[in-house]
Amino acid sequence: MEYLSDNAYLAVKPEAVAGTPVTPTNFVPLLSESVRSIMNYTADRRFKGLSWKANDILRGNRTHEGELSILADADNLGHILNMFMKLGVTTGDATDGYTHPFTVGDCDTYSLEIKRGIYAQRLFGVKVDSLSLDFADGTLQVRADIQARGQFSVAKLGVALTGAGMTNIVLDDTYDLAPTKGLVAGDVIVIGTDELTLLTVDADGVTVTFTSTSLTYSADEPIYLKPQTASLSGLQDPLYQGNTLVGLGVDETASTTAAGSKATATPVHEFSLDLKNNLFTTPRTGSVDPVNLLPRTKEGQVKLKQLLENENDTADFLDRTKQAMTIMISGQHINPDFSTKELVTIKLYNIKMTEHDNALTVGEYIVDDKTYEVLYDDSDAKAMTIDLVNRTAGASY
C-alpha cells in the first residue's frame, strides 16, 4: 500500500521532566521535514577468513536529527522558541493575550511525533540546535534543526504470544536494550491486526502491559506506534511580511522607537535571522543514544536587503559601527474590541556589519545587501530577547 506525505502531521508537547517522553497533543502543519535516526552502521572488518569485505555490519552511537520547516503562526512559534530559548514568566490572560518572554538560556525539552504513513515516529528529549526565521512568499517561515535523545517508531515482538489471556508484550532488544523508550501509558501500538492501548511501560525497558486479550503471534512480528488523529481546529493565520516593521538605532531604545511606526521603520525587502545553540551531543556511557543535549556558546546572524538611499550603511560597515535592531511582527487581533493583537518582538542589542554589497546591475535599482553579526551588548548585558504575544497560556509551554 502507498502512503501520501500530505497525510502526515507534526505534533509537539513540552516534557515535564527533561528527556521523559509524553504524548504530543499540539498539532503543527508541516511544510517539510528531514528528521532521521543516524545509526552509524559500519562494515565489520575483523579478520574472519573471508576474501570479501565483510559478512555483517556493526552499530555505532546513534543520533536523531534533522530539519523541520513550518509557517509560523503566533501560537506554534511559541513551541519552536521554547525548544530553543529560555522561557520566563508568562503574563496576561485569554482576553488580551498572553505575553511570553524568551531570553538566551537553556530551553525546555519536547516530545515530537511525526506520522510516517502507517506508523508514527515519537522523538523525545528534543531541543532546537539552530533556528532560521525568514519570509517566503510573504509569510514567516521557520526552519528548525532539531536533535533528540531517542525515538520509538517500529519494533519487533521478542517473545511469542500464545492465545487467550495475554496482558503484556516483550519487545525484541536488537535495536536497543531498552526498546520501549519513547512509549508512555495511553499510547496505542499495533501488532498484526490488533490495536493495544498501553496501561504501563515497565521499568525493565522491554515490557508493556495492556488489558487481557487473545493474541497469537510469533516472535519477530512487527509492532508500530499508531498515529493519532490530527486536530487543527484552533490554527491561526501565519505571520506576514507586510505586517512587519524593522527598526535600527544606536541602541535598543532607539531601534524599538524606530520599529514603533511605519514612518520611522526601515523598509526591508528581504530579511532573515539565523541563530545557533551549538548543542553538545558527544556520546558517553549509559546509552547508545545521546544522554543529554547541552547548549554551548550561542551565536546569530541577520541578513537584510533594502534599496540604497544614502551613504550611511557603507560608513557603518567601514567603521564597524554598533547598531541595535528591533523587529516587530504583528498578527491577528486577539481582543474583541481590536485593542490587542498577536505580536513577535525581536530585539538585537548589538549588531555590526560583517558583509556589505551594493552591486550595480543594468536596469535595476541599487540594493544594499547586508549581513550583521549578533553580538553581546555590554551596556544592556544581553545579546537578544524575543517577546511573543499570542492566545496560548503559559502552562501549554
pLDDT tens string 329-376: 999 999 988 999 999 999 999 999 999 999 999 999 999 999 999 999
- The C-alpha torsion from 380 through 381 and 383 to 386, rounded to 10°, is -70
Do 386 and 131 touch, CB atoms closer than 8 A? no
Do 191 and 214 touch, CB atoms closer than 8 A? no
Helical H segments across 3-146, by residue range:
74-82
Q: Torsions phi, psi of 6, nearest 5? A: -65, -20
pLDDT of residue 282: 75
Taking residue 377's Cβ as centre, other Cβ atoms within 10 Å add up to 19
User: What are the residue boundaries of the structural domains of the chain, listed by start?
Assistant: 5-36+68-151+233-396, 158-220
pLDDT of residue 234: 84
C-alpha–C-alpha distance, residues 153 and 113, integer Å: 9
Do 245 and 265 touch, CB atoms closer than 8 A? yes
Ranges under pLDDT 50 in the chain:
none
pLDDT of residue 10: 97
pLDDT tens string 84-132: 999 999 999 999 999 999 999 999 999 999 999 999 999 999 999 999 9
C-alpha–C-alpha distance, residues 31 and 177, integer Å: 35
